[in-house]
Chain A
Amino acid sequence: MLQITCPYCGPRDETEFSFGGQSHIARPDESVDDKTWGNYLFFRDNPKGIHYERWCHTQGCRQWFNVARSTVTHEIKAVYGMLDPKPEFES
């Protein structure tokens, strides 16, 4: 049961949120080839380490935001705006 600190509402239990998968994926335009489009649809990173992902506070403010979370310890290293750049961390 993760505790996620919504940037607006503060800390809430994981059950109030919806997970949106990997973040910072640029949506390709229609001119890309089938393989590129397929990568966009189906391929995602699977790091042992920091995962940059999207969450939505569906049962609270209903806002989408970004989270940098360790897939090993589940520690949440950063919560930042949906449009903000990805923060880097030392490994």
Chain B
Amino acid sequence: MSSLAVSPSLVSSSFRGLAVTLVAAGHQQLTNVKAHMLPVDCFKTDAEPGIESNGIIWLGPNERLVMGSEVPDMPAHVFVTDVSHQYTLVDIKGRHMLRLMQTGTGAFPTTIGGATRLGFADMTLIVRHIDSDHARCLVDRSVAQWFWDYLVDRIETLGL
């Protein structure tokens, strides 16, 4: 137990538009797994490009993001990095979730269960299509406040 506390990276934790809401999802254990070449049997069930499965997001042929505290054992030279402090999680919920994503990208995964890394308004995001009215964005912590403010501005501009 540390004498130091973890600070939030966002000034607000929620914003309500007319038909879409932003919510700062709390701190979550995230682990980046990367290697020169990932062994095939690294994961019990692995993700494919664009699809999330079992809390694992495919980021590249040799790179995965594992969500949650169950990180599989890795052989040597498969490098595991704790990135829990590198991302801020923002949930977009509501009828106009898709319209909000469409302000910055045309690559939002169309199927529910889809997850991918993409470019959004000059940032790189990891996005998960959780449900028809629910998306979760994993954004670099240093741009999280700008990202949040930008989404709020889009919601107000479009009256979402």
Verify whether A and B have any Cβ pair under 8 Å. Answer: yes
Count contacts between A and B, CB distance < 8 Å.
39
B117, A60: Cβ atoms closer than 8 Å: yes
> What is the CA–CA distance of A70 and B133 in the complex, to the nearest angstrom?
41
Contact A13–B106 (Cβ < 8 Å)? yes
Is the CB of B94 closer than 8 A to any CB of chain A?
A: no
Contact B116 A16, beta carbon cutoff 8 Å: no
Binding site secondary structure of chain A: loop
Q: Is the CB of A61 within 8 A of B60?
A: yes
B interface bracket (residues with beta carbon within 8 Å of A): 10 to 19
Which residue of chain B has the shortest Cβ distance to A11 in the bound complex? B107
Closest residue of B by beta carbon distance from A3: B106
Contact status of A9 and B119, CB under 8 A, knowing A16-B107, A62-B60 = no
Contact indicator B50/A63 (Cβ below 8 Å): no
Across the interface, do A15 and B61 meet the contact criterion of CB distance under 8 Å? no
Decide if B61 touches A8 in the complex (CB within 8 Å). Answer: yes
Which positions in A face B, CB cutoff 8 Å?
8-10, 12-13, 15-16, 58-63
Residues of B within 8 A of A (CB): 49-50, 59-61, 63, 106-107, 116-119, 124
